[in-house]
Amino acid sequence: MAERSSTNPFYTLIGRALVDEPYRARVIDEKQQAQVLAEVLGREATEADIKALRNSIEALEALYGKFGLQPYSA
Amino acid sequence: MPVAERRAHIRRGPDVDRLFAELPPHLFRQAKLLRYDLALSYSPNGQFEDIFTGRGEFPLLSIAPWLLDDLGFAESPARDEIERHLYLVGVLLAGRTHAVERMSDSASFYGDEHLALVELLSGRITSELGHVVPRGSRFWEEREALAVDELEDQLAQRELRRPPAVADEPEAYLRGRWSFPAKVLALAAHSVAGREDPSGEVAGLLSTLAAAFQIQTDLKSLHRDLQMGRATFVIASIARAAAMPLDPWPDPNSVLGAMAVTNSLEALLGSSLARIQDCRRVATKLRLPTIAAYTEDLEAHMGGHAAAALLDVSEPALPKALTMAEAFLLSDPTLKESWELHREGMFGEAEVASRFPAALILEMLIGRGHDLTGPVDDFLAFTAANRFRYYAHPWSGVDSDTIGVFLRLREHATDPGGHADALRAVLGCLERNVRETRRVPVWLTGCDPVGERPPVVDLGENCGTVAAHLLLGLCREGVERHGPTIEVGAWHLFARIRDVGLGANVNYPKLFALATFFRITRRLAAIYSGNGLGERAEETQRILRAELELASRMRPATPQEAGLLTIACVEGAAPDLVDPRWAVTILKGQRFDGSWSAEPFAAAPNRGNSVTWYSSTALTTAICYDALSRCAPPTS
């Protein structure tokens, strides 16, 4: 596989939240949002960062319900 | 069920059963699994009888009967027979398409050997078509032209999807998987109905319909495609919406996030819907009422997808394979399956075992960071009590390999200084043997009181890999304590490697020996840096490097071979020689319980004074696991 490009950390945060249930819980928990953002941004989150994240929570929630695994058995 | 799907639901299972019933065993096994794969991949309920039914699946098997209806081909026994053959053509085309796609998917369980199945399916497709279309028909020329176009398109797509992803237009990646099979079926239906599709409008309609379904399929596999670095229309569309380059390949999560933030999902579903609407308009214009009714039904239900998962969450193959292998290997702390257990009457006993292979596995697992103190304690206690004999029997010889692995595992025990008296005694015997023979013997003599052991034939003497194993153990104990033994053994081993290369190995797979030789030469080059033995170790490494380069040019045929070659490259400080296809060979061979099937590892006595191969599922699994672990990117 090709080398990974440097990517938008905000997109990466939202994308991970779509497929990682515990992480999603942290992202939507308003008390933890600053910390989650700081982890991906590599700096303290600003008010603007937190606002941008909160603006995307609805999109995240709308899409989250469309991801799933198909259970199976023999 | 929409009225248009009625015919597709006719059960044709027995016809498919008959299609493969007479196959010889290897082809039968491939065909059987393909049938299950088709059911899992293209049926709404996992049942083969229902493949390509339901609104979520392309109606491949309905294309021919719908067209026959719409082209005015009257119901009759002859038509039933035509439909039966075209149903089989549809199934065979689906199977062929699926197999070809999976063969180029590194995470699938399909490999080169499935070329046989693809060949078989191709032949059967022609044969089934021959039952409904006369030899002299123009159909055959037109079908040939379709096939050539399809093959060319496949090659173009293959090139396009190879990193770096270069296409500016997302459309360049949109290739409906079922377009070609549908067009072949439509062509056959036109032919038997005595009609033509002169301007290719029906073919175009089916191509558009296939593209509409492909968008939904690519959405479903988005997570997996991102992990595999496989560009699709969906990925390219999201990247364009987010102004995100695909070269270098983006982090998968960032593309998922971009999809959410840019609301690309709705746009992509809209793109699929627009194509379906286009199909309806064309079908209406062409007076194909059944297909028009079907597309109308699809349109009406496009909004009804919210309840089902539109996108599959995918686990990357490599970490999943590692987790499965770990679970298998750690499920039995004794690793009893790996013991070299003899029931042919060795030493006149009904059952005699050597636990040595389990120690090799423990060493590999510890090397990958597992805490196995308990199993190590058990092995060391057993080995000391058994007085370092290879087999658990008083007539068995004491061997250098057992001493070596004992020494290497010792630091991982609860009490690294334990069993000191037993060890002191056997090391004294070892030192005397090395001093007298000027080499490391495989089997030590004179360790037990005289007369205790009757004459026994010991196999595998003069194995350089056993010597290397012992030297690695002695190095762990300390050069200051074992310097003379190490130096005598090392000089002899290096001289043998210089003289006969990997022929210095007797008892192990050649690539396993190569990795072991790299380990000991690296260790001794560091310990004896600046003196004659250190220089000889470096010279030996150069010889081994040449052997490694030669070996790396051969394509390993089995998972164990691929694993051993990978490990040898890493131990030889040559990760650049590791071919990514070796990991694919390993991954494709993993069983559902996390193990790999046992492969021959060492010669072992068998009944009637014969020798056959020792093999162990656990040992092969440990080798494959070790190799894959070394390929895995570091976890964040």
Specify burial of residue B303 (Cβ count, 10 A radius: 0-12, 13-18, 19+): exposed
| Contact partners, residue B434, CB within 8 Å, separation at least 6 | B440, B441, B485, B488, B489
Which of B47, B161, B254, B305 should be substituted to probe chain A, the one whose Cβ sees the most A Cβ atoms within 10 Å? B254
Nearest CA in chain A to B306: A66
Chain B CB contacts of A67 under 8 Å are 223, 309-313
Question: Tokens 């982890």 correspond to what residue?
Answer: A39
Question: Tokens 């229902």 correspond to what residue?
Answer: B50
Chain A CB contacts of B592 under 8 Å are none
Which of B222, B227, B261, B262 should be substituted to probe chain A, the one whose Cβ sees the most A Cβ atoms within 10 Å? B261
Which ranges in chain B are annotated with CATH 1.50.10.20?
Answer: 318-631
Q: What is the mean pLDDT of residues B298-302?
A: 88
Specify burial of residue A6 (Cβ count, 10 A radius: 0-12, 13-18, 19+): exposed
What is the reported pLDDT for B10? 56
| Contact partners, residue B45, CB within 8 Å, separation at least 6 | none
Cα-based distances in Å from B356 to B86, B334, B349, B353, B388 = 59, 11, 19, 9, 10
Residue B2 has pLDDT above 60, yes or no: no
Residue B1 has pLDDT above 50, yes or no: no
Q: How far apart are CA B489 and CA B447, in angstroms?
A: 19
Chain A CB contacts of B309 under 8 Å are 66-70
| Contact partners, residue B375, CB within 8 Å, separation at least 6 | B333, B334, B335, B358, B362
Q: How far apart are CA A39 and CA A34, in angstroms?
A: 9
What is the reported pLDDT for B426? 97
B242, A7: Cβ pair inside 8 Å? Answer: no
Enter the tokens of residue B104.
């180029």
Q: What is the mean pLDDT of residues B399-428?
A: 97
Chain A CB contacts of B249 under 8 Å are 1-5
- A23–B contact, CB cutoff 8 A: no
Q: Number of CB pairs < 8 Å for A and B?
A: 108
Lowest mean pLDDT among A5-19, B184-198, B295-309: B295-309
Q: How far apart are CA B407 and CA B415, in angstroms?
A: 13
> Which percentage of chain B shows pLDDT scores above 70?
95
Chain B CB contacts of A70 under 8 Å are 309, 312
Query: Which DSSP helix (H) or strand (E) runs through B602?
Result: strand B600-606
- B166–A contact, CB cutoff 8 A: no
CA B400 from chain centre, in angstroms, equals 36
Name the residue range of residue A33's domain: 14-64
Contact B103, B110 (CB under 8 A): yes
B260, A1: Cβ pair inside 8 Å? Answer: no
Residue A2 has pLDDT above 70, yes or no: no
Residue B374 has pLDDT above 80, yes or no: yes
Contact B146, B184 (CB under 8 A): yes
Question: Tokens 């065909």 correspond to what residue?
Answer: B31
Q: How far apart are CA B520 and CA B468, in angstroms?
A: 6
Pick the CATH number of B318-631 from 3.30.70.2660, 1.10.3720.10, 1.50.10.20, 3.30.2290.10: 1.50.10.20
Which of A6, A19, A61 should be substituted to probe chain B, the one whose Cβ sees the most B Cβ atoms within 10 Å? A19
Q: What's the gap in Å between the CA of B540 and the closest CA on chain A? A: 35
B253, A16: Cβ pair inside 8 Å? Answer: yes
Packed helices B400-410 and B464-477: angle between N→C axes, nearest 10 degrees: 30
Residue B451 has pLDDT above 70, yes or no: no
Which ranges in chain B are annotated with CATH 1.10.600.10?
Answer: 3-314
Task: Kindly state the DSSP code that residue B54 receives in the 8-state scheme.
Answer: S
Enter the tokens of residue B410.
């010792």
Chain B CB contacts of A65 under 8 Å are 306
- A74–B contact, CB cutoff 8 A: no
A69, B312: Cβ pair inside 8 Å? Answer: yes
The per-residue b/e assignment along B79-108, b for 16 or more CB within 10 angstroms, e otherwise, is beebbbbbbbbbbbbbbbbbbbebbeebbb
Q: How far apart are CA B622 and CA B138, in angstroms?
A: 58
What is the reported pLDDT for B322? 97
Cα-based distances in Å from B499 to B367, B460, B463 = 31, 19, 14
A56, B244: Cβ pair inside 8 Å? Answer: no
Q: Closest CB to A15: pick one of B46, B163, B257.
A: B257
Residue B193 has pLDDT above 80, yes or no: yes
B253, A19: Cβ pair inside 8 Å? Answer: yes
Nearest CA in chain B to A8: B254
- A1 occurs within a structural domain: no
Q: What is the mean pLDDT of residues B119-132?
A: 96
Amino acid at B546: A
**Tens-place pLDDT, residues B555-587:** 999 999 999 999 999 999 999 999 999 999 999
Q: What is the mean pLDDT of residues B165-180?
A: 88
pLDDT category, B199, cuts 50, 70, 90? confident
What is the reported pLDDT for B516? 98
Specify burial of residue B365 (Cβ count, 10 A radius: 0-12, 13-18, 19+): buried
Enter the tokens of residue B64.
């021919």
Count up the domains in chain A and report the number: 1
- A56–B contact, CB cutoff 8 A: yes
Chain A CB contacts of B313 under 8 Å are 19, 67-69
- A9 occurs within a structural domain: no
**Tens-place pLDDT, residues B35-82:** 999 999 999 888 898 999 988 899 999 999 999 999 999 999 999 999
Residue A6 has pLDDT above 70, yes or no: no
Nearest CA in chain B to A54: B261
Q: Closest CB to B261: pick one of A7, A14, A65.
A: A14
A56, B260: Cβ pair inside 8 Å? Answer: yes
Among B421, B537, B531, B416, CA closest to B471? B537
β-pairing, B352-354 vs B340-342, is antiparallel
CATH superfamily ID and name for B3-314: Farnesyl Diphosphate Synthase (1.10.600.10)
A66, B249: Cβ pair inside 8 Å? Answer: no
Enter the tokens of residue B321.
């394979």
Mean pLDDT score of chain B, rounded to an integer? 92
**Tens-place pLDDT, residues A37-71:** 999 888 998 999 899 888 888 888 888 877 766 55
Bridge partners (DSSP) listed for residue B191: none
What is the reported pLDDT for B301? 85
What is the reported pLDDT for B622? 98
What is the reported pLDDT for B534? 96
Q: What's the gap in Å between the CA of B101 and the closest CA on chain A? A: 18
Contact B494, B439 (CB under 8 A): no
- B223–A contact, CB cutoff 8 A: yes
Q: How far apart are CA B229 and CA B249, in angstroms?
A: 7
Task: Kindly state the DSSP code that residue B633 receives in the 8-state scheme.
Answer: P
Other Cβ atoms closer than 10 A to B330: 14
Sequence length of chain B is 636
What is the reported pLDDT for A56? 86
Q: What's the gap in Å between the CA of A32 and the closest CA on chain B? A: 19
**Tens-place pLDDT, residues B82-98:** 999 999 999 999 999 99
B248, A16: Cβ pair inside 8 Å? Answer: no
B313, A4: Cβ pair inside 8 Å? Answer: no
- A54–B contact, CB cutoff 8 A: no
Q: Closest CB to B256: pick one of A10, A19, A62.
A: A19
Q: Closest CB to B257: pick one of A3, A11, A68.
A: A11
- A23 occurs within a structural domain: yes
What is the reported pLDDT for B433? 97
What is the reported pLDDT for B452? 65
What is the reported pLDDT for B160? 85
- B228–A contact, CB cutoff 8 A: yes
Enter the tokens of residue B31.
């065909």
Packed helices B532-552 and B559-571: angle between N→C axes, nearest 10 degrees: 140
CA B406 from chain centre, in angstroms, equals 33
Q: What is the mean pLDDT of residues B414-433?
A: 96
B261, A18: Cβ pair inside 8 Å? Answer: no
Question: Tokens 């164990």 correspond to what residue?
Answer: B560
**Tens-place pLDDT, residues B454-507:** 777 788 889 999 999 999 999 999 888 999 999 999 999 999 999 999 999 999
Residue B5 has pLDDT above 70, yes or no: no
pLDDT category, B312, cuts 50, 70, 90? confident
Chain B CB contacts of A14 under 8 Å are 256-257, 260-261
What is the reported pLDDT for A7? 67
A56, B261: Cβ pair inside 8 Å? Answer: yes
> How many degrees, rounded to 5, is the angle at CA B72 between CA B48 and CA B201?
80
Q: Is B611 helix (H, G, I), strand (E, B) or coil?
A: strand
Chain B CB contacts of A15 under 8 Å are 251-260
Amino acid at B628: L
| Contact partners, residue B221, CB within 8 Å, separation at least 6 | B232, B312, B314
Question: Tokens 């199976």 correspond to what residue?
Answer: A72
Q: What is the mean pLDDT of residues B213-231?
A: 93
Contact B231, B167 (CB under 8 A): yes
Query: Which DSSP helix (H) or strand (E) runs through B336?
Result: none
Residue B19 has pLDDT above 90, yes or no: no
| Contact partners, residue B472, CB within 8 Å, separation at least 6 | B404, B408, B516, B519, B520, B523
DSSP string, A2-64: PPBPP--HHHHHHHHHHH-HHHHHHHH-TTTHHHHHHHHHTSPPPHHHHHHHHHHHHHHHHHH
Nearest CA in chain A to B226: A1
A8, B253: Cβ pair inside 8 Å? Answer: no
What is the reported pLDDT for B197? 85
Amino acid at B514: L
What is the reported pLDDT for A1? 37
Q: What's the gap in Å between the CA of A44 and the closest CA on chain B? A: 20
- A42–B contact, CB cutoff 8 A: no
Among B370, B401, B419, B524, CA closest to B466? B401
Backbone angles phi, psi at B247, to 5 degrees: -130, 115
β-pairing, B311-312 vs A67-68, is parallel
ipTM comes to 0.88
CA B502 from chain centre, in angstroms, equals 28
Enter the tokens of residue B485.
């033994």
